């Protein structure tokens, strides 16, 4: 459960085209049954990790107490092995000494710590992240997320399309900054995710009354998103009537490395708002069809053409496209992804379970736990 230091964004960059899809969490329906073999926090963490980590049908998890500590938090080594080697896990995570919070992420030590009294005392965090991102970074206190002895922080990173806020925490004594979010260790992490994923927008395909909700965080410039997205299309088409699912699309453009991803997201947002979800998905299909040869000017052309084909006047479309209101809505979804731990694209959550689609059949395997008669698109 550890996202390399800095952010979902840089992790994605390191992964290249696979950018923006993370791995960690487990079934929204019961995953592989496993009797806790440890005692106390270790046993609780073993069960929690089974539900938190990206799903693997044969998860075997071991937890051992680590020598690592953060202020008010104890480190634990979590090792998961399962059916798919690419989904194996060997990480350190943390549980607060009062048993309330779980943290999975990276920490930065302050070389000259002093108590945190105002945002001015976070200048060292801004300097650290400005160097990493090579752009303006403004740390802000977020008191609504305070969890003593930590104070909530939002790290506002300038993207060129407005600032996106990454969540974090700083210890009250100013000695450590933690990049990520604290999760309620007393709660099923799948349920906690379901509570924090906003499905009200309706940028979705499938019946509104469907029993299963699939949430996809993706980037239209991401080649891996295209590959898995088309496979998901086929999987759901082949299993129409078998897999009763509604698929929601969330914008997670990788602004730091993809030159037209934010523009594509803005166009998609505007087309959706004017013409609805089917029009948005038709636009996405056209972008994917030209993805390999798309240019910065090319996305403008396809955006205007697609909007016109959907009956949106040029004036109405241009009043929305590339405007701050549209970019603000896109940034809002990026920030939602950060809070959920998204760190590579595409990332899928199915009823609160994270599915890391690094192995071809893992999505089929999970959906088959919900629809046993699911037909395969990859063969046996």
3-state secondary structure 63-88: EEEEEEEECCEEEEEEEEECCCHHHC
> At CA 120, angle to CA 116 and CA 126, rounded to 5?
100
| Predicted confidence band of residue 16 (pLDDT cuts 50, 70, 90) | very low
Q: What mean pLDDT is predicted for residues 171-182?
A: 97
Mean pLDDT on 306-318: 97
How many whole angstroms separate alpha carbon 91 and alpha carbon 64? 11
Task: List the structure tokens of 44.
Answer: 């609780």
Output 308 or 14, whichever has higher pLDDT.
Answer: 308
Per-residue pLDDT at 58 = 95
Q: Is residue 122 classed as helix, strand or coil in its secondary structure?
A: helix
Q: Which of 2, 6, 20, 27 minimizes the C-alpha distance to 344?
A: 20
pTM for the model = 0.89
Q: CA-CA distance, 223 to 180, in Å (whole number)?
A: 26
**Per-residue pLDDT at 267 exceeds 80:** yes
Q: What is the pLDDT of residue 280?
A: 98
The CATH fold of domain 195-370: Glutaredoxin (3.40.30)
φ/ψ of residue 158, rounded to 5: -75, 125
- Predicted local confidence at residue 39, as pLDDT: 61
Mean pLDDT of 54-60: 96
The answer, yes or no, to whether residue 2 has pLDDT greater than 70, is no
Quick check: 150 pLDDT over 90?
yes
- How far is residue 105's CA from residue 181's CA, in Å, rounded to a whole number? 8
CA dist 91 and 350 (Å) reads: 23
Whether pLDDT at 21 is above 50: no
What is the average pLDDT across 7-27?
34
> pLDDT digits over 93-119, tens only?
999 999 999 999 999 999 999 999 999
Query: pLDDT tier at 379 (50, 70, 90 boundaries)?
Result: confident
Q: What is the pLDDT of residue 12?
A: 33
Q: How is 45-66 classified by DSSP, letter by letter?
A: HHHHHHHHSPP-TT-EEEEEEE
**Mean per-residue pLDDT over the chain, rounded:** 90
Give pLDDT tens digits for 281-304: 999 999 999 999 999 999 999 999
Residue 373 has pLDDT above 60, yes or no: yes
Calculate mean pLDDT across residues 346-360. 96
Give the mean pLDDT of 150-172: 97
Q: Domain spans of the chain?
A: 8-106, 107-179, 195-370
Q: Is the pLDDT of residue 40 over 80?
A: yes
**23 vs 309, which has greater pLDDT?**
309
């Amino acid at each position: 459960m550890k996202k390399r230091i800095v952010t979902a964004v840089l992790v994605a960059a390191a992964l290249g085209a696979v950018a923006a899809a993370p791995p960690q969490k487990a079934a929204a329906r019961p995953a592989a049954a496993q009797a806790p073999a440890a005692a106390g926090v270790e046993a609780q963490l073993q069960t929690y990790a089974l539900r938190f980590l990206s799903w693997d049908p044969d998860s075997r998890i071991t937890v051992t107490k680590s020598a690592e500590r953060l202020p008010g938090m104890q480190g634990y080594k979590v090792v998961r092995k399962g059916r798919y080697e690419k989904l194996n896990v060997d990480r350190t995570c943390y549980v607060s000494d009062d048993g309330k919070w779980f943290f999975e992420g990276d920490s930065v030590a302050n070389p000259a710590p002093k108590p945190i009294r105002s945002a001015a005392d976070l200048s060292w965090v801004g300097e650290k992240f400005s160097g990493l991102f090579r752009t303006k970074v403004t740390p802000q206190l977020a008191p609504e997320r305070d969890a003593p002895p930590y104070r909530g922080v939002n790290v506002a990173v300038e993207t060129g399309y407005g600032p996106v806020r990454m969540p974090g925490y700083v210890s009250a004594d100013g000695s450590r900054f933690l990049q990520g979010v604290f999760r309620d260790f007393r709660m099923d992490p799948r349920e906690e995710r379901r509570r924090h994923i906003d499905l009200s927008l309706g940028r979705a395909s499938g019946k509104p009354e469907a029993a299963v909700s699939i949430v996809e965080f993706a980037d239209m410039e991401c080649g891996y998103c295209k590959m898995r997205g088309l496979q998901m299309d086929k999987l759901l088409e082949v299993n129409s009537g078998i897999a009763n699912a509604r698929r929601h699309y969330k914008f997670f453009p990788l602004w730091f490395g993809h030159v037209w991803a934010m523009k594509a997201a803005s166009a998609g947002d505007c087309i959706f708002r004017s013409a609805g979800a089917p029009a948005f998905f038709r636009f996405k299909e056209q972008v994917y069809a030209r993805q390999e040869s798309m240019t910065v000017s090319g996305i403008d052309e396809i955006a205007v053409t697609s909007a016109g084909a959907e009956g949106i006047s040029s004036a109405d479309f241009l009043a929305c496209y590339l405007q701050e209101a549209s970019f603000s809505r896109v940034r809002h979804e990026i920030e939602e992804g950060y809070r959920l731990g998204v760190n590579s694209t595409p990332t899928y959550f199915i009823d609160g379970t994270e599915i890391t689609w690094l192995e071809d059949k893992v999505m089929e395997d999970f959906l088959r736990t919900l629809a046993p008669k699911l037909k395969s698109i990859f063969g046996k």
